Structure 1
Amino acid sequence: MGKNPDDYNERAGSAQTRRRGAELEQAILDAAWEQLIAEGYEHFTIDTVAARARTSKPVLYRRWKTRDDLLRATVRHIGAASAPSIPDTGTLRGDLLALLANANSTTRNPVAALVSSMLGSYYNQTGPTPAELREAFLSQRGSAVEQVVNRAVERGEVDQARLTPRIIALPFDLFRNEMMMTLKPVPDHVLRQIVDDIFIPLVTTQRAQWA
């Protein structure tokens, strides 16, 4: 029987490591994420990822032809693995604040980590745009805020005629802007302003009075 060529190329230290198929690919993508966060986009290469994953360059090249192919696969992998639980507080305001607080409380939020790793060298490199990477990040899990808004429509909290893709995306667009400007957690009062002063008035016919 023929042997998997990965068996000949994959080594961990001095001992051969028998990782194959999905297990091997996950190990490589986990190592790729660690490399991206540790050393940034400038040092995110097939060579450095192969070394961190303790495998060989041909193993990676059989799966991803270029560094950018590997980068997109890595972002998709981490996006799928870090999908948030969808809150159900009973109100649109409660759900949105819970989503934003969850994103804000993670010490190394994957999106924040990605932005930090790219900022240092991204604009001196040729690579995918931040918008393309965000699309890859969300591709395997969908939009949590869209699910929350759809549920609010079913409860009668939201005027569906006021919804557009841009408006639905607005809370997290504003959140990401705040986060990118400081690379720090967004203050709670800013999260409340995003929800209470900006988003809810846009999507309801009459602003609710909160107790």
Structure 2
Amino acid sequence: MEVFVAQQTGQRRRGAELEGTILEAAWAELHEVGYAHLTMEGVAARARTGKQVLYRRWRNRAELVVAAMRHNVGSIAHHRPDTGTLRGDVVEVLRWMARRQHDVPRDVLHGLMAESADIQPDLSGLMSDVMLEVIERAAARGELACAEVSPRVLATPANLLRHELVLTHHPVTEETIAGIVDEVFLPLVRAVTSAR
């Protein structure tokens, strides 16, 4: 309604206001038509703007959807845990990921994974940045011999959780998170860092 009124009175939406309107429109469109049927044209029509306005900000629908998710359900960048232990931090990261997925239509994760090549690396690398921070803090506390781990090791917990989300179609349990952390990630990262 606000968008319509603003256009009728001749006010042009710009900057953060326009971007917020577009991201809300993308989120609503995503819930209404699903990822497979979401188009830049449909989002532009819902936001009452031109699709060229969307393409100036996002190169494709995958990047638009990532931005809409962050706008509507938050970003890990704003939820960097610091529990005082490596295990606690990794558990909190995975809990946050699992909670976030409850608010996202199920087909979005599948769609984004299929179109992951269309997402700029800096957009998809945020989780690795968070995990690197977690590892560096653990090394500074003396929990790890060093913080030198590969990007593949950093991505392991999130990738395993995504695997659970995509293949099981069940809510992620605390037991699942504990298994990823205790049975896979902690032994792996301790072995890798102690060997350096």
State the TM-score, normalizing by the size of structure 1.
0.70
CA distance in 1, matches of 2:153, 2:87: 15
Question: In proportion to residue count, which structure has more helix?
Answer: 2
For residue 63 of structure 1, report the CA deviation from its aligned partner.
Answer: 4.3
Report matched runs for 1:146-165 at 5 Å.
146-160=132-146, 163-165=149-151
| 2:60 pairs with one of 49, 65, 69 | 69
CA distance in 1, matches of 2:21, 2:51: 11
Q: Which amino acid in 1 is paired with 2:8?
A: Q
CA distance in 1, matches of 2:37, 2:121: 23
CA distance in 2, matches of 1:178, 1:165: 20
1:34 matches 2:28: yes
Match of 1:16 in 2: 8
| 1:96 pairs with one of 90, 108, 111 | 90
Gap regions ≥5 residues in structure 1: 1-9, 124-128, 207-211
CA distance in 1, matches of 2:148, 2:127: 25
1:200 matches 2:191: no
CA distance in 2, matches of 1:173, 1:141: 10
Q: Which amino acid in 1 is paired with 2:184?
A: I
CA distance in 1, matches of 2:169, 2:12: 37
For residue 26 of structure 1, report the CA deviation from its aligned partner.
Answer: 2.1
Asked whether the 8 Å contact 1:79–1:138 carries over to 2, the reply is no
Q: How much is the aligned-residue C-alpha RMSD, in angstroms?
A: 3.6
Count of matched residue pairs: 186
Gap regions ≥5 residues in structure 2: none
- Render the CA deviation track for 1:48-69: whole Å, top value 9, x for unaligned: 213322x14xx2224417x962
| 1:174 pairs with one of 160, 165, 177 | 160
Match of 1:4 in 2: none
- Render the CA deviation track for 1:104-123: whole Å, top value 9, x for unaligned: 2346345966215x28xx97
Quick one: percent identity of the two aligned structures? 32
CA distance in 1, matches of 2:153, 2:12: 45
Asked whether the 8 Å contact 1:86–1:99 carries over to 2, the reply is yes
What secondary structure sits across from 1:90 in the alignment?
Answer: coil
What secondary structure sits across from 2:55 in the alignment?
Answer: coil
Asked whether the 8 Å contact 1:37–1:113 carries over to 2, the reply is no
For residue 79 of structure 1, report the CA deviation from its aligned partner.
Answer: 3.3
State the TM-score, normalizing by the size of structure 2.
0.75
Asked whether the 8 Å contact 1:79–1:141 carries over to 2, the reply is no
